[in-house]
Structure 1
């Protein structure tokens, strides 16, 4: 497979030229820099290498279950020092979407973790109770590791009432290093669809190109100067394609090499890990 690169000697001049243009690396988290609670052994050295080369980076995640504050604490516990400006989650993308498109929506029934609900409340939203009397302006469904049957039923009820219905991300499962399948947001809203016949009005997060817009605007970058790095084809790589960024699929998470071979559109580059990407970026700067 021509775009599957395992070391510097395999890269074409065309790909090397694209890598040389990179000024910012947008990093997925689960499956890319860590797996569940385990930091990959090459992550810290990769980030240090980017700093040495003058390349900025940010962390993007479709997982809305933690607030930005909680994510920063998790990264710190793993040995990564990051700022609030370097973090962007699908929960924040959902908040931005609601504020920009439905400023009148203030009361939300949120199928999400307490940490995520706290993020919404910090942004000025009211989280409604699990009661038919406490009527929300919109339903927000997310990856919810605290999900209860009663709240799932209530969310389905509000979906049937034809209020605004937003899902935070299209991920079917969440990567983990534990012997369990972590059912993610798409699996939850598919359950609601089976029960009610209704799909979300919009599904945010990756692959929506808006997840990269903040980076492009704040850093005054062109799409081709940003590398979107992740382990999922249908979110990370599709967002790179939609935004015109350089897509880097790493094989440390969900997608396999067989998945990559079947990808449509064809992927920009497939690498074993971010460690290989760091080596390629360094190599491109020497050419």
Structure 2
């Protein structure tokens, strides 16, 4: 097998000269986490080598996740246990995106009723917010609904009550399920919001996280980049790829998580690149850089 065949094995569409030129412009890779570099608690076998290849080529990378169930420090610890050394500057979650959104758009909001894990709630409190109790007399300024793996029926009902009172209602992310390596479906924020909509007939006022293009703003500002110098790599069309489209970044769909090749056939959102995994994309990116 020729080198070119090895490089392009696992790429599910022709690589045109125009796409090759787009790849040459890439200076930074924004990486989804669940389903992209690992699955649940299992690191994909090619991830470490992929990241090392980016570093060697002088291409930066950041970890960008819609999963807010862990706070930044938890994620850094989780990555370290799997052999990935990262720093705070390289990590951005939808919880941080929600905190930034509230501070920028609702500076008067301080008291929150949060459907979220203790880890996520702690991150909000570290950023100056007050988490209200499951108590009709402890009135919040706003409701934040998230991927809550500690969810209880009582708190779900309390959230529905405050949402029905027309308080500001923010969702951290639109994901329906969270990827996992276990024999279970992890019900994510989008599905929880659908439950609340059934009870209250109300959707969130704002859904933060991918595909909101503001999730990339921190990277653009931090590294002084243009949007066409970033590749957004993830396993979901409706979050990762759609955000890339919304932000005018290069959209890369990997088939190592939620999306399948069948999903791409009739999808309204089209990825610039469809690859089996990040290793295949990495080989393509480095080949373009060296051409």
TM-score range, shorter chain: over 0.9
**In the aligned structure 1, how far is the partner of 2:145 from the partner of 2:266?**
30
CA contact (8 A) 2:241 2:270 kept: no
**Corresponding residue of 1:46:** 50
**Corresponding residue of 1:221:** 225
Of 8-17 and 194-203, more deviation after overlay is shown by 8-17
Alpha carbons of structure 1 residues 9 and 187: separation in structure 2 relative to 1, 3 Å: closer
**How much has 1:285 moved relative to structure 2?**
2.0
CA deviation digits over 1:209-264, x for unaligned, max 9? 00001111111111110000000000000000000000000000000001112222
CA contact (8 A) 2:173 2:208 kept: yes
**In the aligned structure 1, how far is the partner of 2:206 from the partner of 2:131?**
20
Q: 1:147 aligns with which of 126, 136, 151?
A: 151
**In the aligned structure 1, how far is the partner of 2:207 from the partner of 2:12?**
38
CA contact (8 A) 2:64 2:92 kept: yes
Q: Secondary structure at the match of 1:206?
A: coil
Q: Secondary structure at the match of 2:150?
A: coil
Unpaired runs of at least 5, structure 2 = 1-7
**Corresponding residue of 2:201:** 197
**Corresponding residue of 1:174:** 178
Alpha carbons of structure 1 residues 135 and 242: separation in structure 2 relative to 1, 3 Å: same
Alpha carbons of structure 1 residues 45 and 151: separation in structure 2 relative to 1, 3 Å: same
The TM-score, its normalising length taken from structure 1, stands at: 0.97
CA contact (8 A) 2:175 2:188 kept: yes
Alpha carbons of structure 1 residues 198 and 280: separation in structure 2 relative to 1, 3 Å: same
Q: Secondary structure at the match of 1:129?
A: coil
Of 220-229 and 12-21, more deviation after overlay is shown by 12-21
**How much has 1:9 moved relative to structure 2?**
11
Q: 1:67 aligns with which of 65, 71, 75?
A: 71
CA contact (8 A) 2:26 2:230 kept: yes
**Corresponding residue of 1:268:** 272
The TM-score, its normalising length taken from structure 2, stands at: 0.95
CA deviation digits over 1:41-97, x for unaligned, max 9? 000000000000000000000000000000000000010000001000000000000
**How much has 1:278 moved relative to structure 2?**
1.1
**Corresponding residue of 1:55:** 59
1:256 equivalent to 2:260? Answer: yes
1:15 equivalent to 2:16? Answer: no
Unpaired runs of at least 5, structure 1 = none
**In the aligned structure 2, how far is the partner of 1:60 from the partner of 1:286?**
27
CA contact (8 A) 2:11 2:274 kept: no
What RMSD over aligned residues (CA atoms) do the two structures have, in Å?
A: 1.4
CA contact (8 A) 1:6 1:271 kept: yes
CA deviation digits over 1:101-133, x for unaligned, max 9? 001100000000000000000001000000000
**How much has 1:183 moved relative to structure 2?**
0.1
Alpha carbons of structure 1 residues 277 and 163: separation in structure 2 relative to 1, 3 Å: same
**Corresponding residue of 1:89:** 93
Would you identify which runs of 4 or more consecutive aligned residues in structure 1 move more than 3 Å? 7-10
**Corresponding residue of 2:167:** 163
**In the aligned structure 2, how far is the partner of 1:180 from the partner of 1:157?**
29
Q: 2:111 aligns with which of 107, 113, 122?
A: 107
CA deviation digits over 1:139-193, x for unaligned, max 9? 0000000000000000000001111000000000000000000000010011111
